[in-house]
Structure 1
Amino acid sequence: MMTFELPKNSKMLQPEFTFGVATAAFQIEGATTEDGRCESIWDRFCSLPGKVLNGDDGTEACDHYHRLEQDLDLIKELGFDAYRFSVAWPRIEPAEGEWNELGFAFYQRLIDGLIERGIKPYLTLYHWDLPQYLEDKGGWINRETAYRFVDYAEKITQRFGDKVACYTTFNEPWCAAFLGYRRGEHAPGLAEDRLGFQAAHHMMLAHGLALPKMRKAAPKAKHGIVLNFMLAYANSDSAADVAAAHYCNEENNYFFLDALLNAQYPESIWQKHPDWRPMMLPGDLAIINTEMDYIGINYYSSTLIKAGSDGADYDFGESELPKTDIGWAIYPKALTETLVNYKKRYPNFPAVLITENGAADNTPIVDGKITDDMRSQYYADHLLALNDAIEAGVDVQGYFAWSLMDNFEWAFGYSQRFGIVHVDYQTQQRTIKKSGLEWQRFLKARSR
Structure 2
Amino acid sequence: MKFYWGVVQSAFQFEMGDPYRRNIDPRSDWWYWVRDPYNIKNDLVSGDLPEEGINNYELYEIDHRLAKELGLNAYQLTIEWSRIFPCPTFNVEVEFERDGYGLIKKVKIEKEHLEELDKLANQKEVRHYLNVLRNLKKLGFTTFVTLNHQTNPIWIHDPIETRGNFQKARARGWVDERTIIEFAKYAAYVAWKFDNYVDYWSTFDEPMVTAELGYLAPYVGWPPGILNPSAAKKVIINQIVAHARAYDSIKKFSSKPVGVILNIIPAYPLDPNDSKSVRAAENYDLFHNRLFLEAVNRGNVDLDITGEYTKIPHIKRNDWIGNNYYTREVVKYVEPKYEELPLITFVGVEGYGYSGNPNSLSPDNNPTSDFGWEVFPQGLYDSTLEAAEYNKEVFITENGIADSKDILRPRYIIDHVNEVKKLIENGIKVGGYFHWALTDNYEWAMGFKIRFGLYEVDLITKERIPRRRSVEIYKKIVMEGIE
The normalised TM-score by structure 2 is: 0.80
CA contact (8 A) 1:36 1:91 kept: no
Alignment of 1:56-67 (within 5 A): 56-67=48-59
Name the counterpart of 1:358.
400
- Would you say 1:301 and 2:327 are equivalent positions? yes
Residue 315 of structure 1 and its aligned partner are, at CA, apart by 2.5
- Would you say 1:94 and 2:86 are equivalent positions? yes
| Aligned AA (1:357) | N
- Would you say 1:386 and 2:372 are equivalent positions? no
| Aligned AA (1:81) | N
- Over the aligned positions, Cα root-mean-square deviation in angstroms equals 2.5
CA contact (8 A) 1:178 1:200 kept: no
CA contact (8 A) 1:402 1:419 kept: yes
Say which of 324, 335, 350 aligns to 2:369.
Answer: 324
Name the counterpart of 1:148.
182
- Would you say 1:206 and 2:242 are equivalent positions? yes
Say which of 210, 216, 226 aligns to 1:190.
Answer: 226
Name the counterpart of 1:120.
142
Residue 444 of structure 1 and its aligned partner are, at CA, apart by 3.3
Name the counterpart of 2:478.
443
Alignment of 1:273-422 (within 5 A): 285-290=312-317, 292-308=318-334, 313-317=345-349, 318-319=351-352, 320=363, 321-343=366-388, 346=389, 348-363=390-405, 372-422=406-456
Q: How many residues align?
A: 412
Say which of 37, 43, 52 aligns to 2:31.
Answer: 43
Residue 392 of structure 1 and its aligned partner are, at CA, apart by 2.3
Secondary structure of residue in 1 paired with 2:58: coil
Deviations 1:331-387 (A, max 9, x none): 1112112222444xx4x4311011001111121xxxxxxxx2411101100111112
Which is worse superposed, 93-102 or 178-187?
178-187
- Would you say 1:258 and 2:294 are equivalent positions? yes
| Aligned AA (2:313) | A
Which is worse superposed, 69-78 or 258-267?
258-267
Residue 232 of structure 1 and its aligned partner are, at CA, apart by 0.7
Residue 388 of structure 1 and its aligned partner are, at CA, apart by 1.4
CA contact (8 A) 2:5 2:72 kept: yes
Deviations 1:49-68 (A, max 9, x none): 23554311212311111212
CA contact (8 A) 2:142 2:199 kept: yes
| Residue ranges of structure 2 left out of the alignment (5+ in a row) | 90-119, 159-170, 338-343, 353-362
CA contact (8 A) 2:258 2:320 kept: yes
Residue 271 of structure 1 and its aligned partner are, at CA, apart by 7.3
Name the counterpart of 2:72.
80
Deviations 1:143-202 (A, max 9, x none): 000110111111111111132111111000011222123323312323212211211211
CA contact (8 A) 2:185 2:249 kept: no
Residue 396 of structure 1 and its aligned partner are, at CA, apart by 0.9
- Equivalent-residue separation in structure 2 for 1:39 and 1:46 (angstroms): 13
CA contact (8 A) 1:337 1:389 kept: no
- Equivalent-residue separation in structure 2 for 1:181 and 1:41 (angstroms): 15
Say which of 204, 228, 231 aligns to 2:266.
Answer: 231
Name the counterpart of 1:8.
none
Secondary structure of residue in 2 paired with 1:179: helix
- Equivalent-residue separation in structure 2 for 1:214 and 1:419 (angstroms): 32
Residue 309 of structure 1 and its aligned partner are, at CA, apart by 6.2
- Equivalent-residue separation in structure 1 for 2:183 and 2:464 (angstroms): 34
Change (3 A) 1:411 1:423: same
CA contact (8 A) 1:251 1:266 kept: no
Secondary structure of residue in 1 paired with 2:83: helix
Name the counterpart of 1:26.
12
The normalised TM-score by structure 1 is: 0.86
Residue 37 of structure 1 and its aligned partner are, at CA, apart by 4.3
Change (3 A) 1:41 1:267: closer
Say which structure, 1 or 2, has more relative contact order (CA 8 Å, 6+ apart).
1
Change (3 A) 1:380 1:36: closer
Deviations 1:297-318 (A, max 9, x none): 1001001111226967223224
- Equivalent-residue separation in structure 2 for 1:144 and 1:99 (angstroms): 19
CA contact (8 A) 2:336 2:345 kept: no
| Aligned AA (1:56) | D
- Equivalent-residue separation in structure 1 for 2:314 and 2:52 (angstroms): 39
Give the fraction of aligned pairs with identical amino acids, expressed as a percent: 29
Change (3 A) 1:244 1:209: same
Which is worse superposed, 385-394 or 101-110?
385-394
CA contact (8 A) 2:247 2:258 kept: yes
Secondary structure of residue in 2 paired with 1:405: coil
CA contact (8 A) 1:361 1:375 kept: yes
Which is worse superposed, 45-54 or 421-430?
45-54
Change (3 A) 1:300 1:211: same
Secondary structure of residue in 2 paired with 1:65: helix
- Would you say 1:17 and 2:39 are equivalent positions? no
- Equivalent-residue separation in structure 2 for 1:304 and 1:37 (angstroms): 38
Change (3 A) 1:341 1:268: farther
- Equivalent-residue separation in structure 1 for 2:471 and 2:23 (angstroms): 32
